[in-house]
């Protein structure tokens, strides 16, 4: 029932907004739908906490502590993004960059995107997971090309082709997984792609097939996570799409893709009994971290800057999942949470700042702290949080990851520190100049939505200082499940 | 019901045809002929699925064959034909990169695919077990085509050909995926075709041509 509401509301919302999207109050309807989805997410979480993991509708859906926390995070960021997009898109409309038809497309596709994300998270079927990831690509392609400028069309095309090809690899991996599973489970009743069944028999799955399957799935879903060297689509899609879309791409899509990789990893580790999967993930993770950190220095566009920072953080989380073990997994889950919260709030403030400045070029954005103190402070605090300054939550997770790396893989520690240090220098110097400095910016026609920004940053701060015991127990449980 | 040996021969024949068609697509310059080749590839896929279904008596494979027939042989080529005509691109052909080198690269990819699939093929007990390597080769050749071509339409055909290879892999290795997954995949393919169709018009409007040479502004400098 909770699940039906969770999945039904965004789907209904996308239909509804496709019909009424031209009305004046469509943004409010969007907020309402997202709020409903978030309420359903909370309800579902309460249910899972009270009664443990649930398996519903002919075992097609499976909720355990690992995905339920992503469900609630996804629906929460869906809600805050819809709050942010309300004034943001109205301003864009007044600036003449978007018309009503495009707004209708935006709202409808936004809800559909949230639906595909939630479906990918809750489904128990590895095939449906693939289908919803592909559907998420399709909805976001339309969102990225919303402005219909040459650059946005180019970015969307690149995104589509790269992710389409990547996901084709993942489908091949899924076919191989099915092939291995069918030998053990038989293909009667099509249970052989259900994750719970696969997890029960993972020890009997053929190791050679599974290792090959994992390579394909890591490359496939890894393209969507934005792991180097498959990250090329990510900065373009983030920079050229509307800012709310950048926020959900960074805050949600990358997480869900990483979730898919981790689900595969659990199966493969159980079958292969070697560190192949973990080592591959650690390698890709470190490469993404270091490459993104150095590329950060060359960025001129503020949204590209934070897009590269997303690659960097996804690299860190992938590395941590690759190390495995209770502490690293705990840290990786925490890192996914705080990164989503911080990065989406950063994109919200960046959205308002670029609207004020009328440009995304960092050299032309100056003096936010005097022209609009709340936007300025939001950007500064968000930047400090994402750079892993104590007492924010990112510090906690990165610290945990670092000490685990020191203990178990000492060779990786200098690389991690190098990446983090280089990224710190690149981002901090740019943002400092944008926040402080000579102001020259006009006012915005619609008051910026800064409540979500500070609410999310407060959550990140809280997670840095104090993780509620419930949440900690929950992360530990999820970390144990991942193994 | 034919004997397993006979149907296995038939499937191998289909697999060989698929591979041949992939090479033909790799070297074909005219866009419309490329669409026809793609439709033929879909047709071969359809025949091979029917043969597997017939010889093994797997009822759900008939649905999957019907899906292939409707989607890959009729609907997608039809949409592509109409799109190309509406874009006025029916006489367009594109200059290829050095054809012998592309062919040679294709050959190497086929060898690589076979080596990769070898250990897995030996584990398979389906009638079509020798063909997993070919399926992977079809996927990789389509990938090569997407890399070497610079026209939006050809890249999309490459993308769809890749999907053909994946479907062939699914039938040859496992007698097809569960129905709900196949339906989902088919839906995704259809929707992506529609979206890409809209995209062709956007691209032409913004860049005055479907040539992707123009789309190189977003590079790291």
Range name among A104-113, A334-343, A422-431, B205-214 with the lowest pLDDT average: B205-214
Per residue, the 3-state secondary structure of B110-160, as one string, reads HHHHHHHHHHHHHHCCCCCHHHHHHHHHHHHHHHHHHHHCCEHHHHHHHHH
Instruction: List chain A residues with CB under 8 Å of B206.
Output: 148-150, 153
- Phi, psi of A56, rounded to the nearest 5 degrees: -130, 170
Exposure string of A53-63, with b = 16+ CB inside 10 Å and e = fewer, is ebeeeeeebbb
Exposure pattern of A95-131 as b/e (b: 16+ CB <10 Å)?
eebbeeebbbbbbbbbbbbbbbbbbbbbbbbbbbbbb
The string of pLDDT tens digits covering residues A34-80 is: 999 999 999 998 888 888 888 887 888 999 888 888 999 999 999 99
Cα separations in angstroms, A93 against A85, A101, A317: 12, 11, 37
Q: Do the beta carbons of residue A210 and residue A271 sit within 8 Å?
A: yes
Whole-number CA gyration radius for chain B? 18
Q: Which of A148, A164, A162, A163 lies closest to A241, judged by CA?
A: A148
Neighbour-count burial for A138-164, b at 16+ CB within 10 Å, e otherwise: bbbbbbbbbbeebbbbbbbbbbbbbbb
A179 touches chain B (CB under 8 A): yes
The per-residue DSSP string of A434-467 comes to HHSS----PPPSS----HHHHHHHHHHHHHHH--
Which of B124, B178, B199 lies at the smallest CB-CB distance from A190? Answer: B178
Exposure b/e, B67-102, CB count within 10 A at least 16 = b: bbbebbbebbbebbeebbeebebeebebeeeeeeeb
The 10s digit of each residue's pLDDT in A295-322 is 999 888 999 999 999 999 999 999 999 9
Crossing angle of the two packed helices A100-122 and A2-20, in degrees rounded to 10? 160
Report pTM.
Answer: 0.92
Q: pLDDT digit string (tens) for A172-228?
A: 999 888 888 888 877 655 678 888 888 888 888 888 888 889 999 999 999 999 998
Supply the mean pLDDT for chain A: 88
In the predicted model, is pLDDT for residue B108 greater than 70?
yes
List CB contacts (< 8 A) between B120 and chain A. 176, 179, 208-209, 212
Cβ atoms of residues A451 and A90 within 8 Å: no
Give the distance from residue A408's alpha carbon to the nearest chain B alpha carbon, in angstroms: 33
pLDDT tens, residue by residue, B43-95: 999 999 898 888 887 788 888 889 889 988 999 999 899 888 888 776 666 66
H/E element holding B177? none
pLDDT score at B221? 44
Terminal alpha carbon distance of chain B: 63
Q: Is A411 exposed, middle or buried (0-12, 13-18, 19+ CB in 10 A)?
A: exposed
Tens-place pLDDT, residues A329-366:
999 999 999 999 999 999 999 998 888 888 888 888 88
Mean per-residue pLDDT over chain B, rounded: 84
Structure tokens at A227: 């792991």
**Nearest residue, CB atoms, B169 vs list A156, A175, A295:** A175
- What integer pLDDT is reported at residue A182 of this predicted model? 81
Mean pLDDT over A430-454 rounds to 77
Using CA atoms, how far apart are residues B24 and A436, in angstroms rounded to an integer? Answer: 61
ipTM of the complex in this document: 0.90
Cβ atoms A133, A221 nearer than 8 A: yes
Report the C-alpha gap between A312 and A257 in whole angstroms: 15
pLDDT digits (tens, 9 = 90+) for B168-189: 888 877 777 787 788 888 888 8
Residues of A in contact with B145 (CB under 8 A): none
- For residue A481, pLDDT over 50 is answered with yes
Domain boundaries, chain B: 2-220
pLDDT in tens, A407-418: 988 999 999 999
Lowest mean pLDDT among A14-28, A106-120, A129-143, A207-221: A14-28
pLDDT of B125: 67
Which residue has 């997407």 as its token pair? B146
> Which residue has better confidence, B69 or B210?
B69
Average pLDDT over residues A154-160: 90
- Nearest CA of chain A to the CA of B215: how many Å? 6
The minimum CA-CA distance between A462 and chain B, rounded to whole Å, is: 37
CB B214 within 8 A of CB B207: yes
Other Cβ atoms closer than 10 A to A426: 23
Instruction: Please report the pLDDT score of residue A218 as a whole number.
Output: 94
Which residues are paired to B93 by β-bridges?
B30
């Amino acid at each position: 029932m909770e699940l039906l509401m969770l999945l039904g509301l965004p789907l209904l919302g996308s239909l509804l907004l496709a019909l009424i999207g031209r009305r004046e109050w469509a943004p409010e309807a969007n907020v309402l739908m997202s709020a409903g989805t978030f309420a359903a997410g909370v309800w579902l979480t309460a249910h899972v906490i009270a009664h443990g993991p649930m398996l519903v509708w002919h075992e097609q859906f499976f909720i355990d502590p690992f995905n339920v926390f992503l469900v609630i995070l996804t629906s929460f960021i869906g809600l805050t993004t819809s709050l942010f997009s309300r004034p943001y898109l109205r301003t864009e409309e007044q600036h003449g960059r978007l018309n009503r038809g495009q707004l209708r497309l935006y709202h409808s596709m936004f809800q559909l995107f949230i639906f595909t994300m939630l479906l990918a998270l809750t489904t128990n079927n590895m095939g449906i997971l693939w289908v919803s990831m592909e559907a998420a690509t399709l909805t976001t392609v339309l969102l990225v090309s919303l402005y219909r400028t040459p650059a946005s069309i180019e970015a969307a095309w690149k995104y589509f082709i790269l992710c389409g090809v990547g996901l084709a690899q993942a489908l091949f991996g899924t076919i191989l997984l099915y092939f291995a599973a069918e030998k053990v489970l038989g293909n009667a009743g099509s249970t052989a792609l259900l994750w719970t069944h696969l997890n029960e028999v993972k020890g009997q799955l053929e190791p050679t097939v599974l290792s090959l399957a994992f390579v394909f799935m890591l490359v496939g879903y890894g393209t969507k996570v934005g792991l180097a060297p498959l990250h090329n689509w990510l900065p373009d899609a983030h920079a050229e799409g509307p800012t709310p879309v950048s926020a959900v791409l960074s805050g949600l899509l990358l997480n869900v893709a990483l979730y898919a990789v981790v689900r595969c990893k659990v199966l493969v580790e159980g079958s292969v009994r070697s560190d192949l999967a973990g080592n591959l993930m650690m390698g890709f993770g470190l490469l993404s971290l270091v490459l993104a950190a150095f590329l950060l220095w060359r960025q001129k566009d503020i949204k590209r800057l934070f897009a590269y920072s997303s690659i960097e953080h996804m690299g860190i989380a992938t590395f941590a999942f690759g190390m495995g073990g209770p502490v690293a997994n705990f840290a990786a889950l925490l890192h996914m949470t705080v990164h989503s919260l911080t990065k989406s709030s950063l994109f919200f403030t960046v959205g308002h700042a670029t609207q004020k400045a009328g440009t995304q070029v960092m050299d032309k954005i100056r003096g936010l702290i005097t022209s609009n103190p709340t936007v300025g402070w939001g950007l500064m605090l968000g930047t400090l949080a994402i750079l892993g300054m104590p007492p924010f939550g990112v510090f906690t997770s990165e610290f945990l990851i670092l000490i685990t790396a020191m203990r178990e893989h000492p060779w990786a520690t200098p690389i991690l520190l190098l990446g983090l240090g280089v990224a710190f220098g690149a981002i901090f110097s740019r943002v400092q100049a944008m926040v402080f400095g000579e102001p020259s910016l006009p006012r915005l026609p619609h008051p910026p939505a800064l409540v979500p920004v500070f609410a999310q940053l407060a959550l990140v701060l809280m997670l840095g200082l104090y993780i509620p015991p419930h949440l900690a127990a929950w992360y530990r449980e999820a970390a144990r499940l991942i193994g | 019901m034919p004997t397993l040996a006979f149907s296995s021969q038939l499937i191998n024949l289909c697999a060989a045809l698929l591979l041949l068609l992939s090479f033909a697509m790799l070297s074909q310059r005219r866009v419309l002929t490329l669409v026809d080749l793609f439709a033929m590839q879909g047709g071969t896929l359809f025949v091979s699925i029917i043969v597997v279904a017939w010889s093994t008596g797997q009822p759900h494979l008939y649905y999957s064959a019907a899906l292939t027939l409707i989607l890959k042989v009729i609907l997608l080529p039809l949409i592509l034909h109409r799109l190309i005509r509406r874009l006025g691109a029916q006489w367009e052909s594109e200059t290829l990169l050095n054809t012998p080198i592309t062919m040679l690269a294709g050959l190497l990819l086929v060898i690589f695919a076979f080596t990769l699939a070898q250990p897995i093929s030996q584990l398979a007990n389906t009638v079509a077990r020798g063909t997993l390597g070919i399926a992977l080769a079809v996927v990789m050749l389509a990938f090569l085509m997407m890399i070497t071509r610079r026209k939006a339409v050809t890249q999309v055909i490459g993308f769809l050909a890749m999907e053909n290879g994946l479907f062939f892999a699914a039938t040859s290795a496992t007698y097809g995926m569960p129905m709900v997954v196949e339906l989902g995949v088919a839906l995704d393919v259809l929707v992506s075709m529609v979206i890409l169709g809209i995209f062709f018009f956007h691209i032409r409007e913004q860049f005055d041509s479907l040539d992707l040479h123009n789309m190189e502004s977003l590079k790291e400098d």
